[in-house]
């Protein structure tokens, strides 16, 4: 292998020189940094294939650098090798807990470092390489700017409607980590959640193990709940979300994701791989304003408009008229869901509206939404 970019950060000049000469000789393109802060800037400016970091450094040490890389959806998956003279079990465990892929004691055994680099870079490239073809199903992300606009209701019903075609294998991820209610709307009581999966920290997660975290609904949709209690939400790290989406994609044609009303790093990680984004708004000013801001963020992130579906959900009997809404967004909404009191009834009974009241006007529109999803993000089937 040659040409891979490595950022090497160490505050000791002699080690920087020694290692960078060796790495360059072996065909790697090396960028050097004196401390974590400098490394972070270099990494954000141009994504490397691997980071090698010392632990003890001024300004920002290697633990903090790794923590920051793992917390940002753009850099969460870059392989990190820690090199350190600190060899106590405590230090090594801290390194791994912060997200290091390898912890190598100093003085460095070059043959060992070389072997580790090769394995990590190969694995990273397999996931991220530009040449890799898309693996697995389409990711459909449901977002909303203001809470309580029926985002989860629509995500659940779309997933169920897609599964009802019997053509598609559908999974549903509840990314509302603090107050998720996907399982409740489907009357499911998952034994395990993504928080448990993250806590158990599987480095190599096989399909059979991952399957144990899913709960099958009678519609055929398999649900991965985010978290059981709000205080455990922080267990769900950005890499955990990325790993879960990878696995869901491998086993389904559509991975429907219900996001909270936020652009958290976890939601941005889902957006990075989303084949379509469904933006849900109510027809009232506070929600419309938040939705406009959400659309602006998507535009700033260069998310292609043709892969977004704008849904106005009439969660009450009143609201702003449709032509005014279209003018406000400078865009005609793609779908308008009518106000349906039966939505609350369905929620209270833990049954999706499309199943409980399939003939209601709202259920029909929800099926249209599922059809539109299949158009915005056609499955390979």
Question: Which does residue 314 touch among Mg ion, ligand ATP, none (CB within 5 to 8 A, set by kind)?
Answer: ligand ATP
148 near ligand ATP (CB under 6 A): yes
Check binding of 263 to ligand ATP (CB under 6 A): no
Nearer to ligand ATP, 7 or 175 (CB): 175
Among 31, 152, 242, 354, binds Mg ion (CB under 5 A): 152
User: Rounded to the nearest 10 degrees, what angle do helices 322-329 and 285-300 cross at?
Assistant: 30
Q: Binding to Mg ion by residue 281, rule CB under 5 A?
A: no
Backbone angles phi, psi at 198, to 5 degrees: -65, -40
Two structure tokens written together for 284: 């009232």
Among 149, 186, 233, 257, binds ligand ATP (CB under 6 A): 149
Q: Which residues, numbered 297-316, are part of the site for ligand ATP (CB under 6 A)? A: 313-315
151 is a contact residue toward ligand ATP (CB under 6 A): yes
SS3 229: coil
Q: Closest CB to Mg ion among 121 and 256?
A: 256
Cβ at position 261, least distance to ligand ATP in Å: 5
The residues, any chain, with a CB within 8 Å of residue 328's CB and separated by 6 or more, are: 288, 292, 320
183 binds ligand ATP (CB under 6 A): no
* 153 contributes a contact to Mg ion by CB under 5 A: no
Stretch that binds ligand ATP, among 10-18, 84-92, 151-159, 205-213 (CB under 6 A): 151-159
End-to-end CA distance of the chain: 35
- Which contiguous run of DSSP H or E holds residue 8? strand 5-9
- Give the integer Cα–Cα distance in Å for 39 and 10: 9
By a kind-dependent CB cut-off of 5 to 8 A, residue 313 interacts, out of ligand ATP, Mg ion, none, with: ligand ATP
Name the residue whose CB lies closest to Mg ion: 152
- Spatial separation of the C-alpha atoms in residues 312 and 218, rounded to whole Å: 28
> Which of these, 365, 373, 376, 371, lies nearest to 150 by C-alpha position?
365
Nearer Cβ to ligand ATP, position 23 or 363? 363
Q: Kindly report the number of other CB atoms within 10 A of residue 135's CB atom.
A: 10
Residue 249 binds ligand ATP, judged by CB under 6 A: no
Residue closer to ligand ATP, measured from CB, 51 or 259? 259
> How far apart are alpha carbons 37 and 272 in whole angstroms?
25
Which of ligand ATP, Mg ion, none has residue 337 at its interface (CB below 5 to 8 Å by kind)? ligand ATP
Q: Which residue has the tokens 């929600």?
A: 287
Given a contact cutoff of 8 angstroms between Cβ atoms, the answer to whether 239 and 77 are in contact is yes
Between 142 and 213, whose beta carbon lies closer to ligand ATP?
142
Determine, following the binding rule CB under 6 A, whether residue 343 of this chain makes contact with ligand ATP. yes
Instruction: Return the closest-CA partner of residue 8 out of 46, 43, 59, 44.
Output: 43
Q: Kind and range of the H or E element at 32?
A: strand 29-33
Site of interaction with ligand ATP (CB under 6 A): 144, 147-153, 176, 181, 260-261, 313-315, 337, 339-340, 343-344, 347, 362
């Amino acid at each position: 292998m040659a040409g891979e970019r490595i950022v090497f950060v160490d505050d000791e000049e002699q080690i920087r020189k020694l290692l960078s000469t060796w790495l360059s000789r072996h065909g790697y393109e090396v960028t050097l940094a004196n401390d974590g802060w400098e490394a972070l800037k270099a990494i954000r400016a141009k994504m490397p294939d691997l980071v090698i970091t010392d632990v003890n450094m001024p300004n920002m040490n290697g633990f903090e650098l790794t923590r920051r890389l793992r917390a940002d959806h753009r850099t969460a998956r870059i392989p990190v090798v820690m090199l350190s003279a600190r060899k106590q079990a405590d230090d090594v465990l801290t390194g791994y807990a912060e997200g290091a892929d390898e912890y190598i004691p100093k003085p460095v055994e070059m043959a060992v470092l070389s072997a580790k680099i090769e394995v990590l870079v190969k694995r990273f490239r397999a996931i991220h390489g530009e040449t890799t073809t898309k693996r697995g199903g389409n990711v459909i992300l449901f977002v909303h700017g203001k809470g309580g606009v029926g985002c989860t209701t629509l995500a659940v019903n779309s997933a169920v409607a897609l599964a009802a075609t019997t053509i598609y294998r559908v999974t549903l991820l509840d990314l509302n980590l603090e107050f998720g209610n996907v399982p409740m709307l489907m009357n499911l009581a998952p034994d395990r959640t993504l928080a448990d999966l993250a806590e158990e920290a599987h480095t190599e997660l096989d399909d059979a193990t991952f399957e144990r975290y899913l709960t099958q609904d009678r519609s055929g949709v398999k649900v991965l709940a985010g978290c059981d209690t709000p205080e455990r939400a922080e267990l769900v790290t950005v890499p955990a979300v990325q790993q879960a989406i990878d696995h869901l994609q491998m086993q389904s044609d559509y991975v429907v994701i219900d996001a909270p009303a936020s652009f958290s790093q976890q939601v941005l990680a889902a957006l990075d791989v989303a084949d379509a984004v469904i933006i849900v708004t109510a027809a009232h000013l506070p929600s419309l304003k938040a939705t406009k801001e959400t659309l602006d963020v998507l535009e700033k992130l260069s998310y292609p408009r043709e892969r977004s579906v704008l849904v106005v959900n009439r969660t009450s009997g009143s609201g702003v008229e449709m032509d005014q809404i279209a003018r406000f967004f400078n865009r005609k909404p793609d779908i308008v869901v009518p106000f349906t009191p039966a939505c609350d009834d369905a929620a209270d009974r833990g049954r999706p509206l499309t199943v409980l009241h399939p003939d209601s006007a709202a259920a029909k529109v929800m099926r249209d939404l599922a059809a539109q999803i299949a158009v915005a993000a056609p499955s390979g089937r």
